[in-house]
C-alpha cells in the first residue's frame, strides 16, 4: 500500500502534515465523517494523484476555531490532479487524465444536480443538501490537501483538460477552477455585472480578487475593491481595480463618490463573509458590516452577490446571536431598495468549462490577479499562518514537486 500525507486540522491555530492513509473507493470512518456515510461504496469514483491543491479562506475559518471542525480533519477542497485509478463504474474518465475537481461533491442524479445546482446535491451529505471535501458538517469526504485523494462520481464531476502539456503550462491558472475562480465569477454573475457596470467588491482576499477579475471579464466599466489591508489593495490595483482602504477611511459612500462622482454602484459583491470587521482604525469584528454596507452603496433595484461564507454555527463569535448565525442585518433597507440577494456556495460545474477555455485561450489571468504562490506540502502549516496574517497571496500546494 502506498503512503499518503495530508494537512490535518489539530486545534485552533494549528495544522500539521501527517500520514493519513492511502485512499480507496470506500468512504471510511474518520474525523468528521458522518456515521451515515461510513462504508459508502464509490465504484463511480477515482483515485487522483494531486498535482496542485490550494489553501482557501474557508479553510481558515476552521483553523481559527470558528467552526465545530474536529481535530484530525484532513483539510482541502481545491484539487487538481492526475487520475491514477478508476472504479468499476467509471466509463469516460481514464487513467492518466489531468482533471479539475469541483469543490462541490455532486451525484449527478438528484433533482438539484439535474438543474445544475450541484452546490446543493441531495445525495452526498446526510445532514443537509450540499457537500465538499475536507470540510466540517459536509458529510466527511476526505480533504485533498494531500498527495492522493478519492473523488466520487467521477464521470459527472471531473473537468478533463484537453491537452496535458498545455494544461501544465497554465496550471497556476487552472488550479483556480476548483473553487475561487468560479466562486468569484458566480459572485459577479449573481450581482448582475454586465458591460458598463460599476461594481463594488468587499474584500481583497483571493475570492474578492477573483470576483474583481471576473467583473472585468464581464465588461464592468469600474471595479472598486474595499479592504482593511493595504497590501491586498495594492494587489487589486495591480490589475486595474480602484480601491478603498476602510481602515483609514471608514465612510464607504464618500470614497465611492470620490471615484465615481456618485455615492453608489450598480452592483456589489460580498467576498468577506461572517468574520467581517467594522470600518475604521479601532474597529472590531462585526459580522453584518459588509452586508449592511453593500446595501447602503448599491443603487435601488441593484443586485448583491454573496459568495462570502456565512454559517449556521460560529462558536467563536462574540455574541450569542452570531454564534447561531443570526446577524443584525438591515433587511428593511434591502427591501426598500428592492435589492436582489443571491447567497450560497457556488455551483462550480455551471462555470468551470467556460472559465477553462478563457484561461487556455489567454482571456483570463487569474493566477496573476490572486498572486498565486507555490509551496510544498511540508510548508503548508507556515502557509496557513502567513495567509491568516492577511498576506496578498493565494497559496498553491505542490505535493509531489510536479510544477516547473
Sorted by where each starts, the structural domains of the chain and their CATH numbers stand as 5-179+347-398 (3.90.180.10), 181-342 (3.40.50.720)
Q: Is 280 exposed, middle or buried (0-12, 13-18, 19+ CB in 10 A)?
A: middle
Predicted local distance difference test score (pLDDT) of residue 325: 85
DSSP string, 64-87: TT-S-PPTTPBP---EEEEEEEE-
Q: Give the span between the Cα atoms of 136 and 114, in whole angstroms.
A: 25
State whether residue 394 is helix, strand or coil: strand
Give strand pairing partners of 149.
48
Q: Distance between the two ends of the chain, CA-based, in angstroms? A: 28
**Residues 182, 36: contact at Cβ < 8 Å?**
no
Cβ neighbours of residue 131 closer than 8 Å, sequence gap 6 or more: 104, 105, 106, 121, 124, 125, 138, 139, 141
For residues 219 and 197, the answer to whether their CB atoms sit within 8 Å is yes
CA 81-87-93 angle, to 5 degrees, is: 50
pTM (two decimals): 0.96
The pLDDT tens digits for 334-343 are: 999 999 999 9
pLDDT at res. 367: 98
**Spatial distance between the Cα atoms of 5 and 401, rounded to a whole number of angstroms:** 14
Read off the DSSP letter of residue 339. Answer: -
What is the SS3 assignment for 290?
helix
Distances in whole angstroms, Cα of residue 217 to Cα of each of 40, 171, 271, 357: 41, 20, 17, 13
Predicted confidence at residue 279, as pLDDT, reads: 94
- pLDDT tens digits for 112-126? 999 999 999 999 999
333: which DSSP letter? H
Of 399, 404, 401, the C-alpha closest to 380 is 399
pLDDT recorded at residue 382: 97
Angle between helices 206-217 and 180-190 (to 10 degrees): 60
Buried b (16+ CB within 10 A) or exposed e, 250-273: eebeebbeebbeebbbbbbbbbbb
Q: How high is the mean pLDDT in each 10-residue block of the chain (404 residues)?
A: 92 96 96 95 98 96 92 97 98 98 98 97 96 95 98 98 97 98 98 98 97 98 97 98 95 97 98 92 90 97 96 84 89 97 96 98 98 98 95 97 89
Confidence (pLDDT) at 1: 64
The grid cell for 198 is 460599476
Q: What is the DSSP letter of 157?
A: H
Give the pLDDT confidence score for residue 160 in this predicted structure: 98
Amino acid at each position: 500500500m502506498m503512503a499518503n500525507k495530508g494537512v490535518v486540522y489539530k486545534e485552533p491555530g494549528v495544522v500539521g502534515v501527517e500520514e493519513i492513509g492511502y485512499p480507496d473507493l470506500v468512504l471510511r470512518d474518520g474525523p468528521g465523517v458522518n456515521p451515515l456515510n461510513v462504508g459508502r461504496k464509490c465504484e463511480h469514483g477515482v483515485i487522483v494523484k494531486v498535482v496542485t491543491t490550494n489553501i482557501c479562506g474557508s479553510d481558515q475559518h476552521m483553523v481559527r476555531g470558528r467552526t465545530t471542525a474536529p481535530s484530525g480533519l484532513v483539510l482541502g477542497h481545491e484539487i487538481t490532479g492526475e487520475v491514477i485509478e478508476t472504479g468499476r463504474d467509471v466509463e469516460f474518465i481514464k487513467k492518466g487524465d489531468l482533471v479539475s475537481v469541483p469543490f462541490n461533491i455532486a451525484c449527478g442524479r438528484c433533482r438539484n444536480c439535474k438543474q445544475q445546482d450541484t452546490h446543493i446535491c441531495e445525495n452526498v451529505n446526510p445532514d443537509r443538501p450540499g457537500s465538499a471535501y475536507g470540510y466540517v458538517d459536509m458529510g466527511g469526504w476526505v480533504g485533498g490537501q494531500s498527495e492522493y485523494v478519492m473523488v466520487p462520481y467521477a464521470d459527472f464531476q471531473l473537468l478533463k483538460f484537453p491537452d496535458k502539456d498545455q494544461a501544465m503550462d497554465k496550471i497556476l491558472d487552472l488550479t483556480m477552477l476548483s473553487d475561487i475562480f468560479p466562486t468569484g465569477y458566480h459572485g459577479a454573475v449573481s450581482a448582475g455585472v454586465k458591460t458598463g457596470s460599476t461594481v463594488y467588491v468587499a474584500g481583497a482576499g483571493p475570492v474578492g480578487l477573483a470576483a474583481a477579475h471576473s467583473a472585468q471579464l464581464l465588461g464592468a466599466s469600474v471595479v472598486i475593491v474595499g479592504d482593511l489591508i493595504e497590501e491586498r489593495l495594492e494587489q487589486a490595483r495591480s490589475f486595474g481595480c480602484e480601491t478603498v482602504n476602510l481602515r483609514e477611511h471608514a465612510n464607504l459612500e464618500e470614497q465611492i463618490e470620490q471615484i465615481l462622482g456618485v455615492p453608489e454602484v450598480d452592483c456589489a459583491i460580498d467576498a468577506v463573509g461572517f468574520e467581517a470587521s467594522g470600518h475604521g482604525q479601532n474597529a472590531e469584528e462585526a459580522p453584518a458590516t459588509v452586508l449592511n454596507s453593500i446595501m447602503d452603496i448599491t443603487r435601488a433595484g441593484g443586485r448583491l452577490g454573496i459568495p462570502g461564507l456565512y454559517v449556521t454555527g460560529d462558536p467563536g463569535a462574540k455574541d450569542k446571536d452570531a454564534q447561531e448565525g443570526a446577524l443584525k442585518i438591515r433587511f428593511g433597507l434591502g427591501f426598500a431598495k428592492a435589492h436582489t440577494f443571491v447567497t450560497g456556495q457556488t455551483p462550480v460545474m455551471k462555470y468551470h468549462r467556460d472559465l477553462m477555455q478563457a484561461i487556455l485561450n489567454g482571456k483570463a489571468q487569474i493566477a496573476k490577479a490572486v498572486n498565486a504562490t507555490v509551496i510544498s506540502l511540508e510548508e503548508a502549516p507556515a502557509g496557513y499562518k502567513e495567509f491568516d496574517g492577511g498576506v496578498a497571496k493565494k497559496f498553491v500546494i505542490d505535493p509531489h514537486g510536479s510544477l516547473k
